[in-house]
A and B are shown apart, each in its own frame.
Chain A
Amino acid sequence: MKMSKITKLILAALVLITAAAAALYLAGREPIPENSVAVNYDGETHYADLEGIRLTEIHGERINGKGEVKPVDGMGISLNGLLTWTLSESFACEAVIVTASDGVSAEITAAELAEEGKVVLLLDEEDGSLQLIVFGDPNSKRSVKQVETITVR
């Protein structure tokens, strides 16, 4: 397979840029203790130890991207419950941003957060991570998996 010099140069440039960007990105990530979720509130970072959280049974239905209704069954905690437990105080917010380990995030409004049973974090029994479930969403766009950071605004 013969490749021109231009293609080889583009490949070399891509390798260098990818390596540099990945190194910068990984070095800049806040280290989060294992089995924990970081909660950013009022300029401080708190850590919710997932092993210490009291989980309850979650049952419900959600609509996926194909419009199919899928049952949700498992152990989990409401987002509001996790925040109250972690922050150990009453907190005020306009919105909550839930971010996964891969950077994908979803925004939850204060009204949604206050609605009982609407926004929950479901425990993934395979890897022990949490998944955001917003009951009543017309699709699963906010079903963020492997929740890593929660930012209270």
Chain B
Amino acid sequence: MQGTKLRKMIFWALCCGLGLFCKRLVSPIANVVTGWLHIPGGIGTAFSLMFLALAASLAPHRFCCTRMAVVQSMLALSIGMVGSMGVLSPLGYIIPGLIMDGLFALGGRLGLSQADRLALSNAAGSAAAALTANAIVFHLWGLILLVYICVAALSGMLFGMLGGILAEKLRPVINYSSGKGDKT
């Protein structure tokens, strides 16, 4: 039991780190798309949030995404990855985390599959991150705000689907929810 908990925590930590730093991997491609659409972003965060959704799917726990978001925000603050949000940057992590947890819980109650929950929670989390960034930094309104939110939600959904594929492949190896992958 202790082994499972420790392995869960290691997996969460890994996903926290991947979520925080992998954003930079997709940034060049994401910037091409957002530059063409003339919007300030939204795609990189969707990719970053996929790791939170992946962790919530493979190693579920109450408020899993929120807890990981808090850790990510503390990590980001400590290493100075605050971006243009400054000291308010934790909100940009925690609000999407809360929304994703809510969607995961709601999806569970509605009997949705893990793939559905991953895609929908990632889309909602990504849209929430975009709205938070807009409220704190960008202050966009009108059609451009709609495009920004839609692109964030759509890319969140697509990365959520990618997360669903990854989760399907990883589930036989990493399954902390039922103990199938736990041999300690």
* A interface residues with partner B (beta carbon < 8 Å): 1-4, 6-7, 10-11, 14-15, 17-18, 21-22, 24-26, 28-29, 65-66, 68, 100-105, 139-141
Contacts and interface: CB of A to CB of B under 8 A. Distances in A.
Interface centre among A68, A103, A139 (most CB of B within 10 A): A103
B31 to A, nearest CB: 10
B116 A3 contact: yes
Contacts of A22: 37, 147, 150-151
B86 A25 contact: no
Interface in B118-158: 119-120, 123, 137-140, 143-144, 146-148, 150-151, 153-154, 157
Nearest to B115: A1
B38 A4 contact: no
Nearest to A28: B143
A28 B147 CA distance: 13
B40 to A, nearest CB: 4
Given A7-B112, A66-B82, A1 B153 contact: no
B85 interface: yes
Nearest to B145: A103
Interface stretch (B63-71, B93-101, B161-169, B176-184): B161-169
Interface of B: 34-35, 37-40, 80, 82-86, 112-113, 115-116, 119-120, 123, 137-140, 143-144, 146-148, 150-151, 153-154, 157, 161, 164-165, 168
A26 B116 contact: no
Nearest to B83: A65
B84 A65 contact: yes
A66 B81 CA distance: 8
Interface centre among A14, A15, A29, A68 (most CB of B within 10 A): A14
A134 to B, nearest CB: 14
B121 to A, nearest CB: 11
12 contacts: A1-B165, A11-B161, A14-B123, A14-B154, A18-B151, A25-B144, A28-B143, A65-B85, A102-B40, A103-B40, A104-B137, A104-B140
